[in-house]
Amino acid sequence: MDLTALKAKFSELYGQAPEAVFFSPGRVNLIGEHTDYNGGYVFPCALSYGTYLLVRKTDNQTVKFASTNLELKVDIAIQDLKKKQPNDAWVNYPLGVIEQFSKIGIDVTGLDLLYSGNIPNGAGLSSSASIELVTSVMINNLFGGKLPMLELVKMSQMAENQFVGVNCGIMDQFAVGMGKANHALALKCDTLKFSEVPLKLDGYKIVIANTNKRRGLADSKYNERRSECEKALEEMNLEGKYNSLSDIDFDTFNKIYARLSDEVLLRRARHVITENQRVLDAMKALSKNNLAELGQLMNGSHVSLRDDYEVTGSELDALVEEAWRVEGVIGSRMTGAGFGGCTVSIVKDSAVDNFIETVGPAYEARTGLKPDFYIADVGDGARQLE
């Protein structure tokens, strides 16, 4: 990202230079999908791609929002900051954060804001959480909040749940806020206990491939899967011992799954319970610096998401299947909500060019869509840059 050009754009929009620059990354989840809202383990890392926020305090009674990525520019009077904007406007993400700060007695005054992101839009790399966290860090730093990052993470999730109206788990905001360069975060979503696991990718790269299929089904299927998991838990939890599906280990599941009323609930629960184990196994693999084992676990994760959880769709399956065929790929899977979005692959350095040149045309031949590829570095979490 060219910060000099961004500052010039800010000055052109607002007539003066910005006072401060903030950055918040996107994230990719290496393994542990659809486990977060089931109280389980996830294994994300923050990326070098993200959202930049240039800001200047003003004496005006308005907060001015602009983005280099999206058309909508809006000036909102301070007294109207708690009103949701129509048509799912992107400004609802920062507005939700502003409302969360207001609830704890930290009110923003006049601001000129310019957001600029290089996260691919709609790719499932968490541009919404990135916008929320960059706004949270900005308000915390400029308005004397002095809140720890974990509190900003929780407030950003609440902004998305309560103001935007998306019932997301905490993984996205956590990875974006707490990320650490060259580390993945092993997070237990119900307790927020986590560890930073070194991600030694010597000789390998993380390659993210965007299907460029808009994720039209993702939200409705997300809510459907969530309710299926709740029903599966209710039917198996006759003794009331378990708070979430992730409290049930695989041996216990094998003893009690006969309680489930249908095959669909069985498959949904089986994905969550086996996916949890895959994350724990991935942590052990990385502690031994065994990338090949991590790759195998990623492959198994995709198969489970395809067959048991049924959230992949033909485009993601095609992209992963073509990746599996390429020599030098040790693992590939869908990442994110599913039904479009991205895959994440671990690819030998020397095979990356061939991977892109081979997988891209093969995928396009199967789907009629042209994929985009991103070679990702694992970066730090949300912070002030200048």
Torsion of CA 124, 38, 32, 370, to 10 degrees: -30
Give the percent of the chain with pLDDT over 90. Answer: 87
Q: Catalytic one among 36, 75, 107, 172?
A: 172
- pLDDT more than 70, % of the chain: 98
Task: Please confirm, yes or no, whether 172 is among the known catalytic residues.
Answer: yes
Residues 71 and 165 in one domain: yes
Total domains, the chain: 2
CATH number of the domain at 339, please.
Answer: 3.30.70.890
pLDDT digits (tens, 9 = 90+) for 78-101: 999 999 999 888 999 999 999 999
What pLDDT score does 258 carry? 97
Same domain for 208 and 229, yes or no, is yes
pLDDT tens digits, residue range 233-290?
Answer: 999 999 999 999 999 999 999 999 999 999 999 999 999 999 999 999 999 999 999 9
Strands 342-348 and 62-67: unpaired
Q: Please answer whether residues 286 and 294 qualify as being in contact, where contact means their C-beta atoms are separated by less than 8 angstroms.
A: yes
237 and 176 in a common domain: no
Of the candidates 285, 332, 113, 291, the residue with the CA atom closest to the CA atom of residue 202: 291
Which region holds residue 16: left if phi is over 0, alpha if psi is between -120 and 50, else beta?
beta
> CA torsion sign, 353 to 356 to 359 to 361?
negative
Cα angle 321, 324, 328; round to 5: 155
Q: Higher pLDDT residue, 125 or 252?
A: 252
Same domain, yes or no, for 216 and 193? no
Do residues 298 and 158 share a domain? no
> Are residues 220 and 154 located together in one domain of the fold?
no
3-state secondary structure of 240: coil
Average pLDDT of span 122-126:
69
d(CA 359, CA 194): 35
Same domain, 219 and 136: no
User: Looking at residue 71, what is its pLDDT?
Assistant: 83
The model's pLDDT over 22-75, given as tens digits with 9 standing for 90+, comes to 999 999 999 999 999 999 999 999 999 899 999 999 999 999 999 998 888 999
Contact 234, 244 (CB under 8 A): no
Shared domain check, 43 and 151: yes
Domain identity same for 225 and 169: no
Q: Is 385 helix (H, G, I), strand (E, B) or coil?
A: coil
Distance in angstroms (rounded) separating the CA atoms of residues 179 and 132: 15
The whole domain housing 68 covers 3-198+380-384
Q: Name the maximum alpha-carbon separation found in the chain.
A: 68
| pLDDT greater than 80 at residue 370 | yes
In tens, the pLDDT along 303-359 reads: 999 999 999 999 999 999 999 999 999 999 999 888 888 999 999 999 999 999 999
Q: Which residue has the higher pLDDT, 362 or 1?
A: 362
Structure tokens at 63: 């907060």
